[in-house]
Amino acid sequence: MRVLLHTPLKPPDSPTPSGDREMARGLARLLRRLGHRVVMPALSRVPPGVPAASSHLTLERRARAQAARLVARWRALPAGHPERFDLWFTYHCYYRKPDWLGPLVTRSLGIPYVIAEASHAPRRAQGPTRLGHRAVERALAAADLVLTVNPRDLAGVRARLRRGAHQLRLPPFIDTAPFQAAARARAAGKGPPVLLSVGMMRTRDKLESYRVLAKAFGLLKDKPWRAVLVGDGPARGEIEGLIAPFGERVHFAGAVPHADLPALYAASDLYLWPAINEAYGMAFLEAQAAGLPVIAGRTGGVPAVVAEDITGLLTPIGDAAAFAAAVARLLDAPAERARLAAAAAARVANHHDERAAARALATALRSLK
């Protein structure tokens, strides 16, 4: 099949690192692995990023015109043309960035409509978010298949599907091979354990996660450790201020190309992220694939990718004292770290590698026939 991959939030070729970008890239790889041709015609693109809720009415009007142009273009193309897609596949649809185009185009062309990672939040039905919320409901009502990545979204999405539509789980996934290779090449560490965190340095939830991390570091000042923070963004100056009291114990690595991340994971001993309002976190999978135990906040879909006391430790969200206590526990117990590390690498390889995800996606797409 020729599959149009629509990514309202962030396209696979976005220069800005994020879990959304990596998941979009991963889905494109899965589709190609299964023998499908992935197309992203210019007419299906939308500006990346999250618009203000006040602009949703304008966006909806523009989407109708854009969908009409896309349908006219499709109908004008000869059969077999690379842009004449057979299936519309949207990755990520939620109230702040819904899929305005998919329901309109697929209804006009009579082709299957698939959504991966949709969420439905009834509390967004009123106020400035209501238009985006209604757009999500229209998309879910039009979908033939919804692939749910975050278990937290299962019930809410299921309630909005039409009779005959399918909902299947697609666990978050990565290509584990580079991280496994880096772990095999890991050299014996010298000096204190290295604590690694990878996260965009943005305001709101990311900044709050860094606040918790800084408070936890303060409670761990008497323990032996070094830390590496990977990421960049508009809140970096404020985050540097939070971390300044720890001096050279914390290194800011800045934005690191994704291809260079496996070596950074493999050079570390623990992966830390407080995960304020995190959906599930691709970096948790990357860290575990490289053999790192994880300490994270228990929120959203994080427990679905970090198994409590098997691959890492989960703490109450936003509780810096509990987070620091979990870090201290593993700093003091190298044998426990080794146990968690081995289980983390095995679990991600078995349940979150993209080969397993490709098999799950193939089964899901067969439900369309």
Share of the chain above pLDDT 70, in %: 99
- Which pTM was predicted? 0.91
Would the pLDDT of 360 be above 70? yes
Position 189 confidence tier, pLDDT thresholds 50, 70, 90: low
Q: Which residue has the tokens 């959906």?
A: 279
Whether residue 368 has pLDDT greater than 80:
yes
Average pLDDT, the chain: 95
How long a stretch of residues is the chain? 369
Q: Which residues of 159-177 are buried (b: 16+ CB within 10 A; e: fewer)?
A: ebbeeebebeebbbbbbbe
Contact, 41 vs 127, CB < 8 A?
Answer: no
What pLDDT does 280 receive?
87
Task: State the Cα–Cα distance between residues 272 and 323, nearest whole angstrom.
Answer: 9
- Type and span of the H or E element at 90: strand 87-93
**Residue 261 contacts by C-beta under 8 Å, 6 or more apart in sequence?**
198, 230, 286
> For residue 257, what is the DSSP state?
-
CATH (residue range 2-173+354-366): 3.40.50.2000
What percent of the chain is modeled with pLDDT above 90? 91
Contacts with 138 (C-beta within 8 Å, 6 or more apart), sequence order? 103
What's the CATH number for 177-351? Answer: 3.40.50.2000
Check residue 231 and give left, alpha or beta (phi > 0: left; psi -120 to 50: alpha): left
CA torsion through residues 309, 313, 317, 319, sign: positive
Residue ranges covered by each domain of the chain: 2-173+354-366, 177-351
Q: Note the pLDDT tens digit of each residue in 136-147.
A: 999 999 999 999
Q: pLDDT confidence of 71, banded at 50, 70, 90?
A: very high
Q: Two tokens at 153?
A: 């979204």
Residue 369 is predicted with a pLDDT of: 73
Q: Describe the chain by its helix, strand, coil percentages, rounded to 5.
A: 50, 15, 35
What phi, psi does 273 have (nearest 5°)?
-160, 120
**218 vs 151: CA distance, rounded Å:** 34
3-state secondary structure of 98: coil
Q: How far is CA 108 from the centre of its chain?
A: 31
Note whether 2-173+354-366 and 177-351 share their fold: yes
Amino acid at 337: R
Kindly tell me the sign of the dihedral angle through the C-alpha atoms of 282, 287, 289, 290: positive
For residue 15, what pLDDT is reported? 86
